[in-house]
């Protein structure tokens, strides 16, 4: 794509996304109900949030080459810190957001400083361990803050009136769209800035970056903190759309799902990651509907059981993709896959 | 006093389970540089295979337990070998791709097990002796703890014997040290890859059945918890070191049990992560590992 066409396409898509709540069109097969129905808007909002989240993960994994398995933690910061401040401490929304922003800066900075002392797979394991510790903490429900397994519903009177109720789904949808647009803009700016180029150099050859006189540690930490902070922003949007916090988003499995999203879309391309996030969330939602639907009931158990598990289908799809299409969906759209699977041996 | 003895044996039993999962992870990592996320899936599949093999057999509880144990080991081994041949082998030149397929396999397997058998825990029937306790230094200790410890000890001894005294063990050790040198000497390292996957899968399978014995129940999600604990154990012990994994597994199991009991539930799990961070800051290669690679 030429840059001019890309700019045009992004502007057109942005306008379409922003104007969607005014379009009463039905798209049979893709969405149930018209485009501006609350159900569709909520689903699309969630898709956009996951697109933004996948993009933040791509900054650290795809562009800096850091295989972090703890990204769910920073998303969870956005979800849980905001929810706790709002529900348990009865703070106003701006106060809660200020606190979340602070935690979302300090936590990735502190944990990243420790984790980045090791590289590659040990790094992956340590980030995983920290995220798991946070997940345990959330499930233990310390001082009754997190609500444990039941999660934390926002309830009534916590949020400003414009953000509550089915009638106001469009507002939440716009927030999600805004978060995606902002994350995309910041992400694009970051990876094209001078430090962003250093990130990609580190991904390719960290030692050479060090030899050139740059400190890879500081650049990696910057990438880690930026992506963690933006993930928390996506977390806030998720909290608002879902109307509550649930502990599933803190688990190690959720980080693995994030990895699936990014690889699905194409590692190392921002828009690929966004597409991956959107497609994954959409498929997950639709497959769940499909599994609860009547179409599967007549099938024998051998077929019915696997088909009614969205994560099974997505997991298999993911394996096939890794084996046969290393560039992800983004690579498929861009050009014919450059790297064909090589024969073993 | 009796509480301390009980916590000691229980913690070591837990550590034994961690060791069985971690040993395979550590060998696979050491030789192949593959972080195997599917190891928890081996554990889970083996636990269910053992459960159904045992319940399908109209025999005495002891025989049932034993058949379940064998079925679990077999299931873990077969699953692991198939994973290596079908999924890992085509990706020998793409290390990140190898990690990614094991992630996909872990997610898909977990979902399939949940879909087929439900996510609720299932009660495991054990021989009467295993439900009983033995008094040791005034503490009534469940007999299952001794079974787990004994079998894990045997596996540790067997693995050390295999690595130190057999030709294939030599190849594996040399491969951990320098893989390209071993292939340069004309030895088929890729066959050793399948071998470590088989060993790791069987150890994880054994852990799956022993986990059912230890807890008295099986459920689909325990494999994931075990996997994460085993990751921590492997890193603390030093990647690629079996004795390091055994030592770290004992430390992690004891720390969890003692702190979860004396401090508060969850504190032990937390302390383990802090320990991990501390070890990495002071000795990035792990307790018994070489310099970090």
Cα A272 to Cα A61: distance, rounded to the nearest angstrom: 13
Residue A296: per-residue pLDDT: 67
Closest CA to B45 of B234, B202, B230: B202
Search chain A and give the residue with CA nearest B189.
A345
Contacts of B266 in chain A (CB under 8 A): 136-137, 140, 142
Cα B189 to Cα B185: distance, rounded to the nearest angstrom: 10
A277-331 pLDDT tens trace: 999 899 888 887 777 766 666 777 777 777 778 888 888 888 988 888 877 776 6
Residues B206 and B20: beta-carbon distance below 8 Å: yes
> What are the backbone dihedrals phi and psi of residue B141, each rounded to the nearest 5 degrees, phi first?
-110, 130
Residue A338: per-residue pLDDT: 46
Cα A328 to Cα A262: distance, rounded to the nearest angstrom: 8
A107-121 pLDDT tens trace: 999 999 988 988 877
For chain B, give the longest Cα–Cα distance: 59
Higher-confidence residue: A274 or A20? A274
Residue B286 has pLDDT above 80, yes or no: no
CB–CB contact A315 B100 (8 Å): no
CB–CB contact A122 B266 (8 Å): no
Interface test with B, best of A312, A326, A328, A337 (most B CBs within 10 A): A312
Tell me how many domains chain A contains: 1
Cα B86 to Cα B45: distance, rounded to the nearest angstrom: 18
Instruction: Look up tokens 């497959």; give the residue.
Output: A287
- Minimal Cα–Cα distance from A110 to chain B, Å? 12
Most confident of A107-111, A131-135, B113-117, B178-182: A107-111
Higher-confidence residue: B165 or A34? B165
Helix, strand counts (H, E) of chain A: 14, 2
Q: Look up the CATH number of the domain holding residue A327.
A: 1.10.3470
- Minimal Cα–Cα distance from A34 to chain B, Å? 32
DSSP string, A113-130: HHHTTS-HHHHHHHHHHH
Report in angstroms the alpha-carbon separations of A179 from A56, A230, A235, A325: 11, 9, 10, 30
Residue B254: per-residue pLDDT: 94
Query: Residue A131 belongs to what domain range?
Result: 39-290+306-334
Residue B19 has pLDDT above 80, yes or no: yes
Closest CA to A83 of A60, A64, A66, A103: A103
Give the three-state DSSP class for B186: coil
Residue A216 has pLDDT above 90, yes or no: yes
In a domain, residue A1? The reply is no
Cα B59 to Cα B200: distance, rounded to the nearest angstrom: 30
Closest CA to B266 of A142, A253, A125: A142
A249-258 pLDDT tens trace: 998 888 888 8
Contacts of B231 in chain A (CB under 8 A): 125, 128-129
A34-74 pLDDT tens trace: 777 888 888 999 999 999 999 999 999 989 999 898 899 99
Cα A306 to Cα A220: distance, rounded to the nearest angstrom: 40
A219-232 pLDDT tens trace: 999 999 999 999 99
Residue A101: per-residue pLDDT: 96
ipTM over 0.90: no
CB–CB contact A315 B91 (8 Å): no
In a domain, residue B124? The reply is yes
Tell me how many domains chain B contains: 1
A4-28 pLDDT tens trace: 787 888 888 887 887 777 777 777 7
Closest CA to B274 of B291, B263, B10: B263
In a domain, residue A266? The reply is yes
Most confident of A94-108, A293-307, B165-179: A94-108
Residue A227: per-residue pLDDT: 96
Nearest to B97 among A120, A126, A326 (CB): A326
Query: Residue B153 belongs to what domain range?
Result: 18-220
In a domain, residue B4? The reply is no
Residues A116 and A109: beta-carbon distance below 8 Å: no
In a domain, residue B202? The reply is yes
What average pLDDT does range B33-54 have in this prediction? 91
Residue A85: per-residue pLDDT: 94
In a domain, residue B12? The reply is no
Cα A155 to Cα B78: distance, rounded to the nearest angstrom: 50
In a domain, residue B192? The reply is yes
- Minimal Cα–Cα distance from B230 to chain A, Å? 10
Residues B101 and B88: beta-carbon distance below 8 Å: yes
Higher-confidence residue: B241 or B291? B241
Closest CA to A314 of A259, A275, A274: A259
Is residue B190 classed exposed, middle or buried when 0-12, 13-18 and 19+ CB atoms within 10 A define those classes?
A: middle
Instruction: For chain A, list residues whose CB is within 8 angstroms of any CB belonging to chain B.
Output: 67, 114, 117-122, 124-126, 128-130, 132-133, 136-137, 140, 142, 252-253, 256-257, 259-260, 263, 305-306, 308-312, 314-316, 318-319, 322-323, 326, 341-342, 344
Contacts of B101 in chain A (CB under 8 A): 319, 322-323
What average pLDDT does range B20-46 have in this prediction? 89
Give the three-state DSSP class for B104: helix
Instruction: Look up tokens 């200020």; give the residue.
Output: A98
Give the three-state DSSP class for B147: helix
Give the three-state DSSP class for B137: coil
Residue A187: per-residue pLDDT: 94
B236-261 pLDDT tens trace: 888 778 888 999 999 999 999 899 88
Relative orientation angle of helices A194-204 and A169-192, to the nearest 10 degrees: 70
Contacts of A300 in chain B (CB under 8 A): none
pTM confidence score: 0.84
Search chain B and give the residue with CA nearest A321.
B101
With residue A155 as reference, give the H or E element that holds it: none
Search chain B and give the residue with CA nearest A310.
B111
What average pLDDT does range B110-125 have in this prediction? 88
Give the three-state DSSP class for A152: strand
Search chain B and give the residue with CA nearest A260.
B104
In a domain, residue A34? The reply is no
Contacts of A136 in chain B (CB under 8 A): 266, 269-270
């Amino acid at each position: 794509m030429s840059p001019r066409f890309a700019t045009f396409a992004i502007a057109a898509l942005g306008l379409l996304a922003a104007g969607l709540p005014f379009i009463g069109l039905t798209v049979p097969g893709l969405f149930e109900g018209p485009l501006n129905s609350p159900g569709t808007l909520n689903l699309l909002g969630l898709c956009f949030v996951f697109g933004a989240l996948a993009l933040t993960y791509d900054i650290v994994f795809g562009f800096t080459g850091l295989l972090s398995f703890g990204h769910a933690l920073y998303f969870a910061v956005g979800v849980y810190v905001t929810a706790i401040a709002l529900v348990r401490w009865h703070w106003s929304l701006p106060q809660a957001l200020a606190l979340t922003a602070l935690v979302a800066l300090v936590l990735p900075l502190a944990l990243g400083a420790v984790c980045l002392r090791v590289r590659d797979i040990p790094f992956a394991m340590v980030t995983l361990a920290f995220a798991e510790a946070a997940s345990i903490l959330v499930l233990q429900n310390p001082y009754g803050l997190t609500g444990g397994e039941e999660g934390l519903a926002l309830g009534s009177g916590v949020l400003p009136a414009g953000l509550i109720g089915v009638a106001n789904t469009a507002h939440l949808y716009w927030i999600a769209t805004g978060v995606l647009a902002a994350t995309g803009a910041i992400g694009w700016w970051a990876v094209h800035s001078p430090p962003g180029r250093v990130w990609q150099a580190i991904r390719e050859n960290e030692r050479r970056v060090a030899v050139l006189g740059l400190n890879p540690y500081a650049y990696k930490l910057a990438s880690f903190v930026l992506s963690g902070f933006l993930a928390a922003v996506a977390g806030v949007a998720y909290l608002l759309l879902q109307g509550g916090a649930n502990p599933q988003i803190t688990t190690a499995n959720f980080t693995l799902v994030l990895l699936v999203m990014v690889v699905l879309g194409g590692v190392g391309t921002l828009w690929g990651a966004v597409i991956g996030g959107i497609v994954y969330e959409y498929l997950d939602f639709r497959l769940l509907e499909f599994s609860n639907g009547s179409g599967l009931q007549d099938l024998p158990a051998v077929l019915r059981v696997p088909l009614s598990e969205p994560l099974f289908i997505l997991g298999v799809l993911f394996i096939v993709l890794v084996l046969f299409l290393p560039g992800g969906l983004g690579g498929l759209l861009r050009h014919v896959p450059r790297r064909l699977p090589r024969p073993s041996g | 006093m009796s509480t301390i003895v009980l916590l000691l044996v229980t913690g070591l039993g837990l550590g034994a389970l961690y060791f069985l999962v971690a040993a395979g992870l550590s060998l696979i990592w050491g030789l192949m540089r593959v972080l195997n996320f599917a190891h928890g899936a081996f554990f889970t599949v083996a636990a269910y295979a053992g459960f159904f093999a045992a319940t399908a057999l109209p025999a005495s509880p002891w025989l049932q337990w034993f058949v379940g144990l064998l079925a679990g080991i077999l299931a873990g081994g077969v699953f692991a070998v198939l994973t290596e041949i079908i999924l890992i082998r085509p990706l020998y030149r793409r290390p990140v791709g190898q990690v990614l397929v094991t992630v996909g396999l872990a997610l898909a397997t977990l979902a399939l097990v949940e879909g087929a058998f439900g996510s609720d825990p299932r009660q495991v029937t054990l021989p009467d002796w295993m439900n009983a306790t033995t008094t040791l230094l005034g503490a009534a200790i469940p007999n299952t703890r001794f079974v787990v410890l004994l079998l894990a000890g045997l596996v540790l001894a067997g693995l050390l014997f295999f690595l130190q005294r057999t030709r294939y063990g030599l190849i594996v050790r040399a491969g951990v040290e320098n893989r390209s040198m071993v292939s340069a000497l004309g030895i088929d390292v890729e066959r050793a890859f399948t071998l470590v996957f088989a060993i790791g899968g069987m150890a994880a399978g054994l852990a799956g059945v022993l986990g059912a014995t230890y807890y008295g129940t099986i459920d689909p999600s325990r494999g994931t918890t075990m996997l994460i604990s085993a990751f921590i154990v492997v890193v603390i012990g030093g990647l690629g070191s079996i004795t390091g994994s055994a030592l770290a597994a004992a430390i992690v199991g004891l720390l969890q049990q003692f702190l979860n009991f004396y401090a508060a539930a969850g504190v032990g799990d937390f302390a383990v992560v802090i320990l991990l961070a501390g070890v990495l800051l002071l000795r990035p290669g792990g307790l018994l590992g070489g310099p970090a690679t």
